[in-house]
Structure 1
Amino acid sequence: MLAALASPTVKGADSFVVEDIQVRGLQRISAGTVFNYLPVNIGEKFTVQKAGPSIRALFKTGFFKDITLEREGGTLIVNVVERPSIAKIIFEGNKDLSTEDLQKALNSIGLAEGKVFNRLVLEKVEQELRRQYFSHGKYGLKIKTDVSRLTRNRVGIHIKISEGRVAKIKQINVVGNKVFDKDELLKQFELSTTNLLSFYTKDDQYSKQKLSADLERLRSYYLDRGYINFAIDSTQVAITPDKKEIYITVNVKEGELYTLEKVKLTGNLIVPPEELIGLVQVGPGEIFSRKNATQTSKAISDRLGDEGYAFANVNMVPEIDEEQKTVAMTFFVDPGKRVYVRRINMRGNTKTRDEVLRRELRQMESSWASTAKIERSKTRLERLGYFESVNVETPPVVGTADQIDVNYSVVEKASGNLMAGVGFSQTQGIVFNANISQDNVFGSGKRVNLAFNNSDITTQYRFGYFDPYFTLDGVSMGYDIGYSARDANQANISNYSTDVINSGFNFGIPLNEFDRLRFNIDLKHTKLNTSSFTSTEITNFVEDQGDKFLTLATSIGWTHDTLNRAIFPSAGGQQRLSALATIPGSDLEYYKVSYKQQQYFPLAKDLTFRLLGEVAYGDGYGDTDGLPFFEHYFAGGVRSVRGFNDNTIGPRDSNNRPFGGSSKIIGKAELFFPVPFIEDAKSIRLGSFFDAGTVSDGFEVSNLRYSVGLSGEWLSPFGALAVSVALPLNADENDDEQMFQFSFGSGF
């Protein structure tokens, strides 16, 4: 630059009028780019004082590594030497971090393919890569960078990486604790020393981010137990010279225990005070808990949000008495302005009609915004089953302080299927099926189904129609007609078969947001077929009742459903109570009653615990003595009590074949967790379970069968797959055990 300023072509004349500007030395960069940054225009007077700013302006672009200015008559000559561009960045040896992640990291510091190569930036590469690998606990990292010249002023960068072994945590110490022992405090940490599950959880690999989260959990542990002056004085992280082991020491100061003296609500409460008092989770005389205080603040804020105060603030104001070791807590309520919904917008529903989505909404336009109703509307859209994902945003209306728009965006999935396929079940064998279904006919939300299924057990033909909104109030209506032939012997049951022709009509009535009544009327003709191997119980039934039956049955069902999702729920529950009876005058007169409840408890982000219980009972009345045997209940199998063969638990007939019973009890406890090494697996899950169940003729609890094991469920593109490995705990000599079970091609 100094040479250019002192060159005779510029210095020879104090000033001149620029008649033309020429740029020499360009290869990739256009002359127009130079003119844009050059603070000199044709027709202006150019002086020596302008040379320095001109050169600095071009250097600031980062495109050039050398710039000189010359004068030829009235022409200003700009000589440049371009920096090379990066043609390719090649990583070698990276295993723990993907090439894509490393490219993103280097792009953040200005080193990426297509960008100008700057050696000053290259010097930051090793520092950035070390930062990335250190965060994954790899401190034995070695990096070598080679830069090779290519044609057309380009370079290739080759980065060789030797990751080394992950440094493992050898010891974690907590110093200064007196109230709680070290083991209790270390249970709050995600980080840990090496244990049997570390290969999966990787909890023995040090991470600065994880340690920060653990220290915050430790702080919360003390604050939730009344130690409001708790402090972490220092944290030391030491690594051994071979960079394979890490020692962590946390120095703490516990402070004194504080209790609550009084709790007060103040501000503009909006709703009746007694309602808010019921939301307060802290009280005088209790040990101070920041967790309970925060939950109280959130509960009050959510309650105000239901009244339209979407931006309400509930501030916790503690008054600490250091002498008495007490806290006076005041919750100051500032509701702000009531917020109204201007518009509700639907986006992404290219096939489904707007009305199908809007009839699921609980938040209305031009009414005040309720956070609970907005979220409930989202849940109802997700439960339709028409969409892969549903998202909601509530942007404020520009120019107003009390209005928002509610924008629901959906990603539609195929709701119609034309399928012909093959499934397999250990009980049913090979299952051939053809199915034409449309859950959302012409985007109307109506469902039409035409199905054919053929297996070793059942041959079935069925046509069905269902309208979930037969009326605007949500009354549903549907009907179906079908034929099925069933060989019970192939299903591990007594030796007989049935041919059934049926038609039915149903409608449902919503009682409230979560409860629904359903009514069914079914006309069924049953033909019973026996053989020379049929048991005496069945032959006696045929002699007494015949082998052809025409029945008209009515049923009523009640459902209470708070599940957050229809497939693989993680929270909420479901209760079902149903009762069925054939009308007097039918060829067979009987009734059946059942109740089923399941509840999901989210234990952590990826852990869900489920409890399920089911009881059922049936009997005959009038001229029918007992529940007809082909209406019996059965238990055992991958969908029931796992570890026992399908339908084999319970009473047996004179041929020692499973005969079922008039009552059933099923219980399940299951812990669901994600599949290791698979991220965002929404259609697959694993579980550990405890099953119990029995079938009898009178709720004989002493005959309960138990099993424990592991399960897996996958909603694959080809159908639902369920597998289990179970160990029966109290099987007797007559039970048919089956440790490994699976079923493919049917719903969960």
Structure 2
Amino acid sequence: MPSFFNPNSLRPIPALVALVCAAQALPALAAEPFQIRDIRIEGLQRGDPGSVFGALPFRVGDTYTDDKGAAALRALFATGLFKDVRLDIDDKVVVVVVDERSIVASVNFVGLREFDKDQLVKALKENGVGEGLPFDKAVVDRAEQEIKRQYLSKSLYGAEVVTTATPIERNRVDVTFTVVEGDVAKIKEIRILGAKAFSESTLLGELDLTVGGWLTWYTKTDRYARSKLNADLEKLRSYYLNRGYLEFDVKSTQVTISPDKQDISINITIDEGQPYVVTSVRLEGDYLGREQDFRQRVLVQPGQAYRGDDVTATQRQFTDHYGTYGYAFARVEPRTEIDRKTGQVAVVLQGVPGQRVNVRRISVAGNTVTRDEVIRREFRQLESSWYDGAKIKLSRDRVERLGFFNEVTVDTNEVPGAPDQVDLAFNVTEKATGSLLLAAGYSQTDKLTISVSVQKENIFGSGNRLGLDVNTGKTSRNLVVSTTDPYFTDDGVSRTLDLYYKTSRPLNSLAEEFQLATAGTAIRFGVPFTEYDTVFMGIGAEQNIIGTASGLPQSYVLHRNQYGSHSLSIPLTVGWARDERDNPITPTRGSYKRLNLDMSLLGDLRYARLNAQYQQYIGLPWKLTLGLNGEVGLGYGIMGRSYPTFKNFTGGGLGSVRVFEQGSFGGVDITGAYDGGSRKLNLNAELYVPVPGSGNDKSLRIFGFADAGNVWRTQNNLGAQTLNNEERGQTNSLSDLRASAGIGLSWISPVGPLKLSYGTPLRSFKGDKIQRFQFQIGSAF
């Protein structure tokens, strides 16, 4: 439980107690110095006599004085083990009489639900209340009050905590915290008073805190916390500053709670001030003789309303640009010159570069498992070179993208006595990189699927990945073993080895058992050309096995007649990917491009299979995101061979054109099986809308979609004969496109991305399989 207690608030103060008690005992200690004949300890029940003897500043045979007696009392009280200590003198024998504190035998909780018991026990023990520690009533009382304060931070204002200390044998105590948590206090009303330029509803929409709604059970945005309110006030201030209101001020905030401690009302009183328009932007100070370079990075636009975000972003651009020239501690101080009569403002940016520095040393800390070299090979900033802010940021981002760490920070430290040098400290917090996933999923096509995945992303701290994936389904089953070495060469060329066994059958196949199996192995190399671009090259070997059961699609039968039940292919792979999305799971801006070519020039099968994809995400006002996706697939039989059916593309459903059944596009074999085709086109558009009441949470979003696409068979396909091509609109042209539109829900669930959609076909043909409602876990775009 991070930062649950303030350690200083719970620490006992034995030194003060010792001084007071020692002062009180001094008159009784008045004695002539003498040589100590023996030392006895009385009153000790559980403690180790050695701990008492070790605290005494004298031994048998030493000369005893009053000063040494007072020092002994202070030392014994300082141990915190005793409630009372006194020294008696009996014929040159020093008798140490102690009254031991009770020891905490156990710490228990009754009625605890909101907090994790184990974390709470740990936090209490770290601060003086725990099993085996001395019992101190004052410390326990402070712990009780701190627990109550933590409940207040959870909006549980009616929570009661009662502490009971039960003495048991051997001077021990059981400490029990009895908690009555009560119900969570909910925000009933939020008012913003004094707003004139913008409606109250508009301003409330900028806040994360909300009144209770139908989704607040999930978002918990109707729970009050002072930290959340302060953050919302800053958002309100930023909203006005970005619209020219330079003198905006929050006059007061008033939070009231109902007598039954269930309802909270918040009143925020503001003074908008007047809006200001920027008339000019001036640069003052030292800009290294490159003032024009800096001016190109000014984001503040004269003639437009003053925007605080633009000023802050310009400061960041300037300091980053200073950093590229080695000025690690450059400052850019903005100043505004306001003319209230005209409502105009001039922005002045004062540049102070400081001294240019180089990096003396780069240290790495916090990596208890990961080897130093795994982290250091991601660095773009080198030791004994000029400080470069852009390279340092890139280095941090690359280390973070490894996925081995919860947090990566970089500290810039001055070198004492060397103002032209700095040291960089990369601090990482490691996380568990091994995972065992046992999951069950359900989709309308594959029905029940079971997945088992064992992965180790950072095996033995080497940065390598080792994985085993098992997947079962109605139309496909896979077993894949893979390993990846991201730095197969010192230049960052990666190597991936795959070993797999896959079985599949087409949708609507009459053969009830899996009659197509593919066993293979492959090796791929990834060559990074830029920070965003990677080129892939590889080669593999596949053995395709077709069974002999009745009901096989005609194309499978023809393939077996031509090549036999076992056919070999040697596919070569060439690919390219460029990923510039801000987040691969819930992107809001950026693009993703992918191009992949598989070719088999040796073996029984000769074909080429090209797949290209482009995604673009555009951030829109009101927290909306527009996502666009286009994908094209082309397959060819080459060197006089037909294109193999089991390399066909499939379409329809999630990841293709929703509302149509998964895998129902393309040709229909004369047996009725849907076996896809050698041409594919997908066009998708999604408009993501935040769920009302979810604030800035992107894990749960509503979206509207429009899809178009199809899969076509050509005469190059082996067994290209289909049923009712014309009736199904299969004329092998763009006039065959199917289209649909609808709404859906996207949720990043604990078991993977979940998409649900409901829609209607906008363009369909006779015989198309329609599924208006579709869902799948782990679905693509």
Q: What TM-score does the superposition give when structure 1 sets the normalisation length?
A: 0.76
Q: Select the residue among 123, 132, 141 that pairs with 2:150.
A: 132
Q: Which has the higher contact order (CA 8 A, sep 6+)?
A: 2
Extract unaligned runs of 5+ from structure 1: none
- In 1: Cα distance, 2:503 partner to 2:123 partner: 63
SS at match of 2:390: helix
**1:46 corresponds to 2:66:** yes
Cα-to-partner distance string for 1:464-508 (whole Å, 9 max, x where unaligned) = 998766765456678989997764466799999878898988666
Structure 1 residues 715 and 289: alpha-carbon distance in aligned structure 2, compared to 1, 3 A threshold: closer
SS at match of 1:164: coil
- In 2: Cα distance, 1:212 partner to 1:256 partner: 23
Moved more, 657-666 or 353-362: 353-362
Alpha-carbon offset, residue 635 of structure 1: 0.9
Preserved contact between residue 187 and residue 212 of structure 2 (Cα < 8 Å): yes
Preserved contact between residue 494 and residue 657 of structure 1 (Cα < 8 Å): no
Instruction: Find the counterpart in structure 2 of residue 663 from structure 1.
Output: 680
- In 2: Cα distance, 1:415 partner to 1:85 partner: 41
Alpha-carbon offset, residue 120 of structure 1: 4.0
Structure 1 residues 80 and 487: alpha-carbon distance in aligned structure 2, compared to 1, 3 A threshold: closer
The one-letter code sitting in structure 2 at the alignment partner of 1:576 is R
Alpha-carbon offset, residue 596 of structure 1: 0.8
The one-letter code sitting in structure 1 at the alignment partner of 2:665 is I
Cα-to-partner distance string for 1:679-728 (whole Å, 9 max, x where unaligned) = x9xxx976655462421433348522345434567797xxxx67654324
Instruction: Find the counterpart in structure 2 of residue 598 from structure 1.
Output: 615
Q: Select the residue among 769, 772, 777 that pairs with 1:736.
A: 769
Alpha-carbon offset, residue 581 of structure 1: 7.1
- In 2: Cα distance, 1:100 partner to 1:550 partner: 58
Preserved contact between residue 508 and residue 672 of structure 2 (Cα < 8 Å): no
Q: Select the residue among 614, 622, 635 that pairs with 2:651.
A: 635
The one-letter code sitting in structure 2 at the alignment partner of 1:598 is Q
Preserved contact between residue 509 and residue 674 of structure 2 (Cα < 8 Å): no
SS at match of 2:356: coil
Preserved contact between residue 10 and residue 69 of structure 1 (Cα < 8 Å): no
Cα RMSD between the aligned structures?
5.7
Instruction: Find the counterpart in structure 2 of residue 176 from structure 1.
Output: 194
Q: Select the residue among 688, 698, 707 that pairs with 1:692.
A: 707
- In 2: Cα distance, 1:420 partner to 1:163 partner: 35
SS at match of 2:236: helix
Alpha-carbon offset, residue 648 of structure 1: 0.5
**1:31-430 equivalences in 2 (<5 Å):** 43=63, 45-46=65-66, 64-66=82-84, 70-72=88-90, 74=92, 79-100=97-118, 103=121, 111-270=129-288, 272-344=290-362, 358-381=376-399, 387=404, 391=408, 393-394=410-411, 396=413, 399=416, 400-401=418-419, 402-407=421-426, 409=428, 411=430
Aligned residues: 728
The one-letter code sitting in structure 2 at the alignment partner of 1:736 is K
Moved more, 291-300 or 659-668: 659-668
Structure 1 residues 117 and 529: alpha-carbon distance in aligned structure 2, compared to 1, 3 A threshold: closer
Alpha-carbon offset, residue 155 of structure 1: 2.6
- In 2: Cα distance, 1:192 partner to 1:434 partner: 41
Structure 1 residues 137 and 548: alpha-carbon distance in aligned structure 2, compared to 1, 3 A threshold: closer
The one-letter code sitting in structure 1 at the alignment partner of 2:33 is V
Alpha-carbon offset, residue 295 of structure 1: 1.6
Preserved contact between residue 660 and residue 770 of structure 2 (Cα < 8 Å): yes
SS at match of 2:156: coil
Structure 1 residues 592 and 253: alpha-carbon distance in aligned structure 2, compared to 1, 3 A threshold: same
- In 2: Cα distance, 1:653 partner to 1:334 partner: 74
- In 2: Cα distance, 1:432 partner to 1:549 partner: 29
- In 1: Cα distance, 2:438 partner to 2:467 partner: 14
Structure 1 residues 55 and 324: alpha-carbon distance in aligned structure 2, compared to 1, 3 A threshold: farther
- In 2: Cα distance, 1:441 partner to 1:115 partner: 40
Preserved contact between residue 506 and residue 674 of structure 2 (Cα < 8 Å): no
Preserved contact between residue 176 and residue 252 of structure 1 (Cα < 8 Å): yes
SS at match of 2:244: coil
Structure 1 residues 201 and 268: alpha-carbon distance in aligned structure 2, compared to 1, 3 A threshold: same
Moved more, 425-434 or 466-475: 425-434
Structure 1 residues 589 and 232: alpha-carbon distance in aligned structure 2, compared to 1, 3 A threshold: same
Preserved contact between residue 708 and residue 740 of structure 2 (Cα < 8 Å): yes
Alpha-carbon offset, residue 618 of structure 1: 3.2
- In 1: Cα distance, 2:549 partner to 2:72 partner: 104
SS at match of 1:160: strand
Alpha-carbon offset, residue 199 of structure 1: 1.4
**1:2-21 equivalences in 2 (<5 Å):** 16-20=32-36
The one-letter code sitting in structure 2 at the alignment partner of 1:729 is T
Structure 1 residues 644 and 112: alpha-carbon distance in aligned structure 2, compared to 1, 3 A threshold: same
SS at match of 2:734: coil
The one-letter code sitting in structure 2 at the alignment partner of 1:396 is N
**1:705 corresponds to 2:751:** no
- Aligned sequence identity (%): 32
- In 1: Cα distance, 2:98 partner to 2:496 partner: 79
Moved more, 224-233 or 560-569: 560-569
Preserved contact between residue 723 and residue 740 of structure 1 (Cα < 8 Å): no
Preserved contact between residue 616 and residue 629 of structure 2 (Cα < 8 Å): no
Extract unaligned runs of 5+ from structure 2: 1-18, 712-731
**1:25 corresponds to 2:24:** no
Structure 1 residues 251 and 489: alpha-carbon distance in aligned structure 2, compared to 1, 3 A threshold: closer
- In 2: Cα distance, 1:444 partner to 1:726 partner: 42
- In 2: Cα distance, 1:69 partner to 1:460 partner: 80
